[in-house]
Chain A
Amino acid sequence: MKASDLIGRPVLDSAGRRVGIVTDLRCIQDGPLRGAMAAPRVHEVILSSRRVGSMLGYQRQEQRGPWLVRLIVRWLHRDLMVLPWESVQLSDDGEIRTLTVTGDRHRPR
């Protein structure tokens, strides 16, 4: 599996309605040790209704940057959600992978 198999994919709810599109995968370096460091392991899925347009890091509270850019980007992605990986079910139907929300969702920190 590749990161691009998940990033950009729609996420559905249990009724099959689209919840959003995966814009990023938040990892913590707590995976299996590979060489000098632990592999980044996915802990959260970041969703937005918008396919186009990066958050430019503004989904993070510590990202300050120019305030006008921050305001615009956050407004464009005002529906951003973060799902714990445990609340997402990954089904692998050949080439097409589908993510379905089965648990909690919350706004980003």
Chain B
Amino acid sequence: MSDGRELDLQLHLLDRQVQDPDRRMICKVDDLELELDASGRPYVTAILAGPRALGPRLGGRLGRWMAAIAGRLATPEESEIPRIDFAQVTEIGSAITIARTSDELNVAPLEGWLDRHVIARIPGSLHESE
């Protein structure tokens, strides 16, 4: 994709699906991290994902609740909001394609917590029968 393309952040990036090179779904673009350049103009530096990014965007009681619960469930090493550096983005279309896989990124700590604490305790979930 060529540089110089015009993009509206809300229309073309926010809430889009993020997928890996094999088109496997990773997360959604729940918010975008911005930095100011030398002239004071913001530019996109990263995709932010997960309930702790989406909650403040939603606002209100639901948004606060969503962010607080996700924050409580995150492990110490997951204290930062999951982010994908924009350098990993390879294509912006109806979905955002990145050069990494979900396992490499660990952008869904809530799913990881559910996997470890809920799913793993369900008999048969660890493929014992195989």
Residues of A participating in the B interface, judged by any CB pair closer than 8 Å: 1-7, 23-32, 34-43, 46, 54-55, 57, 85, 90
CB contact under 8 A between A40 and B9, given known A2-B32, A2-B33, A35-B87: yes
Chain A to chain B contacts (Cβ below 8 Å), 10 pairs: A2-B48, A4-B31, A24-B11, A25-B9, A27-B6, A27-B7, A34-B86, A37-B3, A42-B9, A54-B10
The CA-CA distance from A43 to B41 in the complex, in Å, is: 8
Contact B13 A40 (CB under 8 A): yes
A contacts with B: majority SS: mixed
The CA-CA distance from A34 to B7 in the complex, in Å, is: 16
- Chain A residues within 8 Å of B8, by CB: 24-27, 46, 57
Partner of B89, one of A36, A46, A90: A36
Q: Say whether B40 faces chain A, with CB atoms less than 8 Å apart.
A: yes
Q: What 20 additional pairs, Cβ within 8 angstroms, besides A7-B14, A25-B42?
A: A2-B48, A3-B14, A5-B34, A6-B42, A24-B11, A27-B43, A29-B3, A35-B86, A35-B99, A37-B90, A38-B3, A39-B43, A39-B45, A40-B13, A41-B41, A41-B43, A42-B41, A43-B41, A46-B8, A55-B11
CB contact under 8 A between A57 and B9, given known A28-B4, A36-B90: no
- Chain A residues within 8 Å of B115, by CB: none
Instruction: Using CB atoms, name the residue of chain A closest to B85.
Output: A34
- Chain B residues within 8 Å of A2, by CB: 31-34, 48, 53, 56
Partner of A37, one of B33, B42, B89: B89
Tell me, rounded to whole Å, the shortest Cβ–Cβ distance linking B72 to chain A. Answer: 21
Instruction: Using CB atoms, name the residue of chain A closest to B10.
Output: A24
Q: Say whether B130 faces chain A, with CB atoms less than 8 Å apart.
A: no
